[in-house]
């Protein structure tokens, strides 16, 4: 897909939780991203981002500057029997209630148009990889104004190959020593980028960030094929909501 990198990352969102406490109405966790797949909308994030709260508390904004939340319908998890290699199951997909969705509210932050062909991208170590998420140290809840103030962080890396974990790959992050923390970045979208000119790039969906540390300079991401396979299972009715 030929598009600017800044445009492609407008699908990224904070993952919020309604607390039902008037004094502290929302809490913040990791990052997620909005996709449109087979004419349906979904929120994708890392499962561990949501485990401290109940599913009914999850909230995702239409836009980072919006006080209106996307209407969520059902949550889907991956279950597996491997208790040691668990990264491959660290995924949550939230379906959107299409009957309640107001697509105009996305404004300049539309969902990423995810295609089945996105799962065929071959990772190239000569290209750069880009991740945008909402780290914890760049976010704040303004309780008096009942507003969320947050800033995203764009990090770039070089492909280091598949990890020891099933369906998980690793990136060496550029200038990792300049990043305070990756905390809150889990669930962020990962893209492979080939620059065409100063404005546009050939951007391909690579997967979803799971974890990483500035100290190691490495981050790990769940591959695109896994995410697309789960979305197909949901669309085809082959999985039961959590």
Q: pLDDT tens digits, residue range 32-79?
A: 999 999 999 999 999 999 998 999 999 999 998 888 999 999 999 988
Q: How many angstroms separate the Cα of 110 from the Cα of each of 15, 44, 100, 180, 198?
A: 16, 14, 17, 29, 23
- Do the Cβ atoms of 162 and 100 come closer than 8 Å? no
Q: How many CA atoms lie within 13 A of 14 on its CB side?
A: 30
- CA 87, CA 98: separation in Å to the nearest integer? 30
Q: What is the pLDDT of residue 149?
A: 74
- Looking at residue 78, what is its pLDDT? 87
pLDDT digits (tens, 9 = 90+) for 1-29: 555 666 888 999 999 999 888 777 788 88
The DSSP line for 41-54 is EEEEE-GGGTTTS-
The structure's pTM equals 0.92
Query: Can you give the residue ranges of every domain in the chain?
Result: 2-235
Whether the predicted pLDDT of 197 surpasses 70: no
Give 2-235's CATH code, choosing from 3.90.650.10, 3.40.50.720, 3.40.190.10, 2.40.10.10: 2.40.10.10
Q: Which residue has the tokens 């309780």?
A: 143
Structure-block tokens of residue 236: 């085809």
């Amino acid at each position: 897909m030929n598009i600017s990198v800044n445009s492609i990352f407008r699908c990224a969102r904070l993952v919020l939780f309604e607390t039902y406490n008037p004094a502290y109405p929302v809490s913040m966790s990791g990052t997620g991203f909005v996709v449109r797949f087979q004419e349906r909308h979904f929120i994708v994030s890392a499962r561990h981002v949501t485990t401290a709260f109940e599913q009914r508390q999850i909230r995702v904004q239409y836009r980072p500057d919006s006080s209106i939340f996307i209407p969520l319908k059902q949550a889907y998890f991956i279950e597996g029997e491997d208790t040691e290699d668990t990264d491959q199951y660290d995924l949550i997909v939230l379906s959107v209630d299409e009957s309640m969705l107001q697509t105009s509210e996305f404004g300049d932050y539309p969902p990423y148009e995810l295609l089945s062909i996105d799962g065929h991208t071959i990772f190239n170590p000569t290209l750069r990889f880009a991740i945008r998420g909402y780290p914890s140290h760049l976010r704040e809840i303004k309780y008096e104004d009942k507003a969320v103030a947050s800033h995203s962080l764009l990090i770039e890396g070089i492909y280091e190959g598949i990890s020891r974990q099933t369906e998980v790959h690793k990136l060496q992050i550029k200038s990792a020593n300049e990043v305070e923390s990756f905390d809150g970045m889990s669930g962020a979208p990962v893209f492979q980028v080939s620059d065409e000119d100063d404005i546009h790039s050939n951007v391909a969906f690579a997967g979803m960030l799971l974890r990483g540390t500035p100290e190691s300079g490495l981050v790990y991401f769940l591959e695109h094929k896994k995410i697309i396979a789960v979305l197909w299972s949901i669309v085809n009715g082959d999985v039961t909501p959590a």
